[in-house]
Each structure stands twice: as structure tokens, then as C-alpha cells.
């Protein structure tokens, strides 16, 4: 059941050929960050070799070329998530900055004493702390949708939580620790029936699920380029134009203005109002190249390949005695979290590293979620488009060895 030739794809990722501790690298830490194909690296190189200049306002050739490349990447991203206009696509440093932007602008303007902001128990710290900060400042209250043992939201609790005090809902589309894909369309529709806007943290969703912001009807959507085979330091905030128009700027500086005097500054139009200072030009161009690359292979094919890896890995590790999977929803992205009895996740990670296997161990920036399960940490394997079934076997054999030694 070849969806595509994985070995051919692996040729595009030179880093995967590395030897680690004398073993071939098995990179299973894709939820933390994905590797970058040659097509992205070449685009970054081309930019710095032939095009590097500051963008917007430059009349010289290089500046115009760089501006053109930067703005055409914005259009690619607009199409990629099916936004209505390119003015709804704001370049940021990543998911974290995108969420902070909304909390600090929309939140500061609209949240008041006694208002309620809803998140869930499975949020990444970057979708908790920014809301805590603005709630403290505006004396609003943070409310948390509980999750069940499988790692799914308890939807009835969300229904009960919504009321006339609710001012915002911010929810992870797919959990980085559990893999759970949340019923975001249902959440959005219900929130909208209370006139409450919804932000989706799509950091883990963009490279696994086809996203159509118009169909979803989300108000905001945040993601990072580096989890989508693009560079670090670049990300996206999508926002509906009516929201973005009514929000004050996030940071002040160059590019976000239309006219500055000491008495008053007039702000630039969207999306530039939210892009103060020289942006990550190369990063934006690299992200465009990453999207081209993923779309050429086909997002749906990639998702199916990853799902098969997840299914295979889940079956294999379920056979291991003394191993418990954390996050057992039927609807998951290719994230596999687990704990071993008697072995600390940190030791699992260290042991596997000696086998050449890169996984993540720790709380995955979801400490409240770890508390919910009464564990300090998990071991997490996460699969990308270039991973193979053989690599899953290497992981499983490594785990077997650990259980023999420590079990």
C-alpha cells in the first residue's frame, strides 16, 4: 500500500542520513519540529545568495524582488488555509507569538472584569499563559474544559460553561501531547451561537489535516512554519478581517505605520499593521517553499501515511508489558505518548538516543495535562512524512531492550 515512495522522499532530507552514536538516525520527534527538505534549504540559500534586501518601500531591484517573494509567500499561505484575503495573513515568529498577539490586542481591548475566557485541559503552555496574563490584567476569569481518561474533551462541560460572560474560546486543534484531534467545528459553531469568537491553535494540525478557515469559520488560527517542514522563527496568525481591523496594533515600529508625527501616528492597513519591524523575510519565503513541497506530495497522502505508521506503532507497543499509552482517542494525529512502569521517561529518551532514536521526553509544555494524568512526563514518538515502518521497529526493539533491562 505505497501512498508514495518514502525512500525517494527521504533523499530530499539530507539530515536523515546522519549516524548518531554509531547508529542510523531515526528521527521521531516531528511534533517538536520537522526536518527541512532540500527544496526549502535551497530557497533560503537562493534568497541570501541573490536577493537579500529589506522589503517594502525599496525602489531598487533586489528590494523589489525580495518584497515580491515575501508577498507571494503570503498568498501561498492564504490559499493553503483558504483565507478570504491576503490581508488576513500575518507573519509572526510562530504559534506562540500569534496567540500572544491576539491576547494582548483583542484581549486587552475586549476583556473586562468578570468576563470568562475558555481554554481546555490539554492546552500547550503557549495557549494557557498568554490568556492567564491578560486575564490577570483585565480581571477576567480563565475557565478550563476538562478531558476524560482517553484524552478527549468533555463536550457537555463546554456546553455548560458557555454563558453571557464568555468572551473568548481558545482551543488546540490537535494536541501535541496526546495526539487528540478536537471537534473544532462543533466547538466553533456552539461558541458562535453565543457570539463568542474562537481561536484555534493549529500548531500540530497544519501538517496533518487539511485546513479551510472559511469552512471551519474560526475567528483566528495560529501555526508555526517549523512544524510544517519550514524554517524556525516564522509562523502565521490568520484572523477574520473584521476582528483584525478592530484590534489595536501589537508592537509599534517601522512598517506598521502610514504616517508618524510626534502628536499622532496613523497605522498601516492590514496585514502590515501587525508586522512591525523588519520581518523574517527568508523564513517567510522558506515557509512558502515548504508548503509547495508538502502540497506536491499531497497533504492527504502524507496524513494517510502517518496514520498508518501510528496504527502500526500503536499495535506494536500495545503488546509490551508495563507500557501505558497516554492519549487513546480514536481520532488522533501521529503522536504516540506513553509511560513505562518503573522507568522514568528521561531514561527512556536517553537509552533510545544511544540506539539512534530521537524521541521527546518531558511534559511537552503541557504541565496541567501531566497533572491530570498524575504523571510528571511522558515519552513521545511523533511521525512525519519521511518516517518508515522499519523505523517504528527500531523504536519498538529499543523499548523492548529497556523493558528487559529495567522491567
Which residues of the chain form contacts with ligand PMP (CB under 6 A)? 94-96, 124, 126-127, 172, 176, 201, 203-204, 224, 365
Least CB distance to ligand PMP at residue 156 (A): 24
Q: How far is the CB of 98 from ligand PMP (least distance, A)?
A: 8
Inter-helix orientation angle 38-46/281-297, to 10°: 150
CA atoms 12, 72, 212, 247: torsion sign: positive
**HSE-up (13 A, CA, CB side) for residue 173:** 25
Q: Which is nearer to ligand PMP, 243 or 363 (CB)?
A: 363
> Has 135 been annotated as catalytic?
no
Tell me if 357 sits within 8 A of 394, measured CB to CB.
yes
DSSP letters spanning 282-322: HHHHHHHHHHHHHHHH-HHHHHHHHHHHHHHHHHHHHTSTT
Given 6, 241, 320, 365, the catalytic residue:
365
Select 176 or 280, whichever has its Cβ closest to ligand PMP.
176
Distance CA 390, CA 21 (A): 19
What's the rounded Cα separation, in Å, for the pair 16 and 35?
8
Which burial class, exposed, middle or buried, applies to 40 when counting CB atoms under 10 A from its CB (0-12, 13-18, 19+)? Answer: buried
Closest to ligand PMP by CB, 30 vs 87, is 30
Q: Shortest Cβ distance from residue 36 to ligand PMP (Å)?
A: 14
Contacts of 46 (CB under 8 A, 6+ apart): none
> Minimum distance between the CB of residue 172 and ligand PMP, rounded to whole angstroms?
5
List, by residue number, the catalytic residues: 365
Amino acid at each position: 500500500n505505497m501512498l508514495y515512495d518514502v525512500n525517494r522522499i527521504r533523499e530530499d532530507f539530507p539530515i536523515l542520513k546522519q549516524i548518531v552514536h554509531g547508529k542510523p538516525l531515526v528521527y521521531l520527534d516531528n511534533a517538536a519540529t520537522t526536518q527541512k527538505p532540500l527544496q526549502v534549504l535551497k530557497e533560503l540559500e537562493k534568497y541570501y545568495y541573490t536577493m537579500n534586501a529589506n522589503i517594502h518601500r525599496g525602489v531598487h531591484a533586489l528590494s523589489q524582488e525580495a518584497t515580491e517573494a515575501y508577498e507571494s509567500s503570503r498568498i501561498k499561505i492564504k490559499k493553503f488555509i483558504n483565507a478570504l484575503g491576503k490581508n488576513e495573513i500575518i507573519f509572526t515568529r510562530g504559534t506562540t507569538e500569534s496567540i500572544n498577539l491576539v491576547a494582548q490586542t483583542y484581549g486587552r481591548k475586549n476583556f473586562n472584569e468578570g468576563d470568562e475566557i475558555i481554554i481546555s485541559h490539554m492546552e500547550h503552555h503557549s495557549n494557557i499563559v498568554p490568556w492567564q496574563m491578560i486575564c490577570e490584567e483585565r480581571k477576567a476569569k480563565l475557565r478550563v474544559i476538562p478531558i476524560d481518561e482517553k484524552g478527549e474533551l468533555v463536550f457537555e462541560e463546554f456546553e455548560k460553561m458557555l454563558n453571557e460572560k464568555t468572551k473568548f474560546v481558545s482551543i488546540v486543534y490537535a494536541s501535541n501531547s496526546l495526539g487528540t484531534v478536537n471537534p473544532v467545528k462543533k466547538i466553533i459553531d456552539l461558541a458562535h451561537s453565543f457570539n463568542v469568537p474562537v481561536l484555534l491553535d493549529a500548531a500540530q494540525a497544519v501538517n496533518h489535516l487539511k485546513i479551510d478557515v472559511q469552512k471551519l469559520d474560526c475567528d483566528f488560527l495560529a501555526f508555526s512554519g517549523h512544524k510544517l517542514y519550514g524554517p524556525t522563527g516564522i509562523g502565521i496568525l490568520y484572523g477574520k478581517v473584521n476582528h483584525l481591523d478592530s484590534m489595536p496594533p501589537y508592537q509599534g515600529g517601522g512598517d506598521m505605520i502610514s504616517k508618524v508625527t510626534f502628536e499622532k501616528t496613523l497605522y498601516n492597513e492590514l496585514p502590515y499593521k501587525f508586522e512591525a519591524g523588519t520581518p523574517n523575510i527568508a523564513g517567510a519565503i522558506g515557509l512558502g517553499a515548504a508548503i509547495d513541497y508538502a502540497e506536491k506530495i499531497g497533504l492527504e497522502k502524507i496524513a494517510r501515511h502517518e496514520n498508518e505508521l501510528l496504527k502500526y506503532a500503536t499495535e506494536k507497543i500495545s503488546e509490551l508489558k508495563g507500557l501505558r499509552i497516554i492519549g487513546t482517542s480514536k481520532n488522533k494525529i501521529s503522536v504516540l505518548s506513553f509511560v513505562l512502569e518503573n522507568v522514568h521517561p528521561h531514561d527512556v529518551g536517553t537509552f533510545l538516543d544511544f540506539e539512534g532514536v530521537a524521541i521527546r521526553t518531558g511534559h511537552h509544555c503541557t504541565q496541567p495535562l501531566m497533572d491530570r494524568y498524575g504523571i510528571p512526563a511522558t515519552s513521545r514518538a511523533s511521525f512525519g512524512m519521511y518516517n518508515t515502518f522499519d523505523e517504528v521497529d527500531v523504536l519498538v526493539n529499543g523499548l523492548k531492550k529497556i523493558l528487559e533491562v529495567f522491567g
